[in-house]
Structure 1
C-alpha cells in the first residue's frame, strides 16, 4: 500500500522531479506507517523512481528530453507488440465497457467536468497497462509500468488529461478501441501508434 501510494504521488505530480523528501514526509503524504515506507523504498530505488541522498533524504530523479524520446520509443515497440495479444486475451465485454464509458463521458466533458477528466486519465493508464499485460510477460509489463511513471513525471503538465483536451483523447482512444473490439489488428495498431505519437509530441513541448 505504501508503494502504491508513492507511485500515485509520482503519477499525479504530488512528487516532482528534483523534489527531496524525508521518509517521515512520505509517511505523512501517503498515510502509511514509517515501517511500510521504509519497506517500499528499496523497490522504488531499484526501479529508479527514488534516489537516496545521504543525510538529506530521498530525491525524485530529474529526467531529460533524451530519456523521454527513448522511453516513448520503447513504449511504442511494446504497445505495438501488444495489439494481437490484446485482441486474443482481453474479453470483448471488457473492451465494450471501455468503449461505452468513453461514449457516455462526452456529454459530461462538454460541461467541463474535471472529475470525468481525472477518471479518463486513470482509465487511459489502465487500458494501456492491460493491453501490455495481455502479452503475458511479467518482465515486459513491469518495465513498461515503471517507464510510464517516469514519462508522466517529466511531462505532467503537458500530457495530463484535462476537460480542455479530453475530447481529443476520447477520439484517439475510440480510434483504436473500436477496431480492437472488431479484431482488426491493422487498424487498431495504426490508431494506437498515432495516439502514442501525439503523446510524445506533447511531452516534448509541441502542439497538435
Structure 2
C-alpha cells in the first residue's frame, strides 16, 4: 500500500472512531503523528480528502474537518435520494426472488429478536448494519462504477452527520420500529416488482431519515 493510501485510510479510521470531530482544526504535523506517515504522503492524502469534501485546507489555519451544517445535511440527503430512487426502481425490476427473500428474512429476524429481548445495544447495532446493507445492496445492483464511487463519497458525508448527530441519525430504541416499518414497505414494493412503488417507498424512507437528521 502506498504511504498516501495508508495516510488516507488511517485518517478515515480516526474520523470514524471519533478521534477527529466535524469542524475541528488540525495541523499536517499532527496528522502525520496520528497516522504514523511522513508529511509528504499526508499532504497527498489531504488533497484526496479535500476533493471528496471531507476536509477543507485553510491557509494559515491548517486543516479543518468539514462542519456539518443544515445545508451539508440537506445536500447529502438530496444526492442520496437521487441515487437511491433510481436504484430502487431498477432493483425492483431486476432483483431475484431469493435476494428479496433474504432481505425480508434478515429484517424479520432482527424485529423478532427485539420483540423477544428488547432493543439492546448489540441488537440496535445489528439493525444499523441491516439498514446500511439494504441501501448498499440496492445501489450496487445498478452495476455502475461511477455511481458506486459517488455513493461511497456521499456515505462519508453520512458518517460525518452520524458523528455530529448520532442520536438523531442512528437507529435507537425510539426509532427502531419506524425505521423497520419503512424498510419493510420498501421490501414489499420490491416483492411486487413495481419500480414506481419501490422508488416511492425509498423516497418516503429517506425523507423521514432527513427529518430525523434535522431533528424535525
- Whether 1:97 and 2:77 are equivalent positions in the alignment is no
**Given the superposition, is the C-alpha separation of residues 90 and 118 from structure 1 closer, same or farther in structure 2, using an over 3 Å criterion?**
same
Residue equivalent to 2:189 = 179
Contact 1:82 1:134 in 2 (8 A): yes
**Given the superposition, is the C-alpha separation of residues 7 and 117 from structure 1 closer, same or farther in structure 2, using an over 3 Å criterion?**
farther
Q: Secondary structure at the match of 2:172?
A: coil
Residue equivalent to 1:131 = 138
Q: State the Cα distance separating 1:20 from its structure 2 match.
A: 3.1
**Given the superposition, is the C-alpha separation of residues 125 and 26 from structure 1 closer, same or farther in structure 2, using an over 3 Å criterion?**
farther
| Cα distance in 2 for residues equivalent to 1:46 and 1:167 | 37
| Cα distance in 1 for residues equivalent to 2:125 and 2:33 | 25
| Cα distance in 2 for residues equivalent to 1:54 and 1:188 | 46
Residue equivalent to 1:77 = 82
Answer with 1 or 2: which has the greater Rg: 2
| Cα distance in 1 for residues equivalent to 2:10 and 2:95 | 27
The runs of 5 or more residues in structure 2 that have no matched partner are none
Residue equivalent to 1:191 = 201
| Cα distance in 1 for residues equivalent to 2:101 and 2:151 | 24
Runs of 4+ in 1 over 6 A off after TM superposition: none
**Selected match of 1:114 from 110, 116, 121:** 121
**Given the superposition, is the C-alpha separation of residues 16 and 97 from structure 1 closer, same or farther in structure 2, using an over 3 Å criterion?**
farther
Residue equivalent to 1:34 = 37
The runs of 5 or more residues in structure 1 that have no matched partner are 28-32
CA deviations 1:89-129 (Å, max 9, x no partner) are: 54433332221111111133241221121122233223213
145-154 or 100-109, which deviates more: 145-154
| Cα distance in 1 for residues equivalent to 2:99 and 2:130 | 12
**Given the superposition, is the C-alpha separation of residues 128 and 182 from structure 1 closer, same or farther in structure 2, using an over 3 Å criterion?**
same
| Cα distance in 1 for residues equivalent to 2:13 and 2:96 | 27
TM, length-normalised to structure 1: 0.79
What is the root-mean-square deviation in Å for CA atoms of aligned residues?
A: 2.9
Count, aligned residues: 201
**Given the superposition, is the C-alpha separation of residues 149 and 99 from structure 1 closer, same or farther in structure 2, using an over 3 Å criterion?**
same
Q: State the Cα distance separating 1:13 from its structure 2 match.
A: 4.6
Residue equivalent to 1:142 = 149
Q: State the Cα distance separating 1:11 from its structure 2 match.
A: 5.1
